[in-house]
């Protein structure tokens, strides 16, 4: 995770696009956006990077946990097909994003307004030599989505994320789309309904 978050700063930014929705306490959206990350101003770039980093930078196995999608026909009942399509479309399909917002809106439990921010990024995973030194070139390109669900602390101003995910999982320096990392800010109070929708259980 540390390797990945090092590419989440203004000088070495791995994100290509960010989209999102502002939701009322009943789960209905009050407005959406979808923009190329490079078109953000300096202040918005910094705010969005901090928001995105909160998910992979969370405490592993406490706030951020690894979950496996079911196999076969059961996988089609999970959000795996939707997340895979969103990643393939690089967040450029608003219809797919609307489905994501609707699913989260129906299952996310809160008594206040909140935001859903979704980031699309790519990371060229560097090659490590046998002497453990970095080499030129890359082993693979890791394309991924980060979703951050946050309470609003001001008008259109998200606070620290309370829920989110990283898909596909980044395991042993490689992409593994059989798994997803799910974030709950409070490990004692998890968003079970949303997690069930994600995993199809």
- pLDDT of residue 26 exceeding 60, the answer is yes
User: Around Cβ 2, how many Cβ atoms within 10 Å?
Assistant: 7
CB 118 within 8 A of CB 100: yes
pLDDT score recorded for residue 136: 53
Pairing status of strand 179-184 against strand 134-154: unpaired
CB 183 within 8 A of CB 63: yes
Which residue is associated with the tokens 């609707």? 102
pLDDT score recorded for residue 199: 97
Confidence of residue 7 (pLDDT cuts 50, 70, 90): confident
pLDDT score recorded for residue 10: 84
- pLDDT of residue 129 exceeding 70, the answer is no
Closest CA to 117 of 85, 157, 87: 157
> Residue 54 has which token pair?
């909160």
Cα–Cα distance measured from residue 119 to residue 37, given in angstroms and rounded to the nearest whole number? 9
Give the model confidence (pLDDT) of 80-102 as tens digits.
999 999 999 999 999 999 999 99
Closest CA to 168 of 94, 65, 84: 84
- pLDDT mean across residues, the chain: 92
CA 43 to chain centre: 21
Q: What kind and span of H or E run contains 40?
A: none
> Residue 136 has which token pair?
């030129």
- Please provide the DSSP assignment of 53-86 as one string: HTTTTS-BTTTEEEEEPPPGGGGGGSSHHHHHHH
Confidence of residue 138 (pLDDT cuts 50, 70, 90): low
């Amino acid at each position: 995770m540390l390797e990945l978050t090092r590419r989440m700063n203004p000088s070495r930014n791995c994100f290509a696009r960010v989209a999102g929705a502002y939701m009322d306490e009943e789960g209905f959206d009050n407005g959406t956006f979808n923009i190329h990350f490079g078109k953000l101003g300096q202040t918005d770039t910094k705010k969005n990077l901090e928001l995105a980093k909160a998910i992979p930078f969370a405490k592993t196995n406490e706030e951020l946990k690894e979950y496996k999608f079911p196999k076969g026909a059961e996988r089609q009942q999970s959000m795996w097909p939707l997340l895979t399509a969103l990643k393939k479309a690089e967040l450029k399909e608003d219809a797919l994003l609307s489905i994501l917002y609707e699913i989260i809106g129906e299952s996310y439990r809160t008594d206040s307004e909140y935001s859903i921010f979704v980031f699309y990024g790519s990371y060229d995973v560097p090659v490590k030599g046998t002497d453990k030194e970095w080499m030129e070139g890359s082993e693979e390109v890791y394309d991924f989505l980060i979703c951050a669900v946050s309470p609003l602390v001001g008008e259109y101003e998200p606070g620290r994320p309370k829920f989110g995910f990283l898909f596909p999982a980044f395991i042993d320096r490689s992409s593994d789309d059989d798994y997803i990392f799910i974030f709950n800010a409070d490990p004692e109070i998890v968003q079970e309904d949303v997690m069930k929708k994600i995993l199809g259980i």
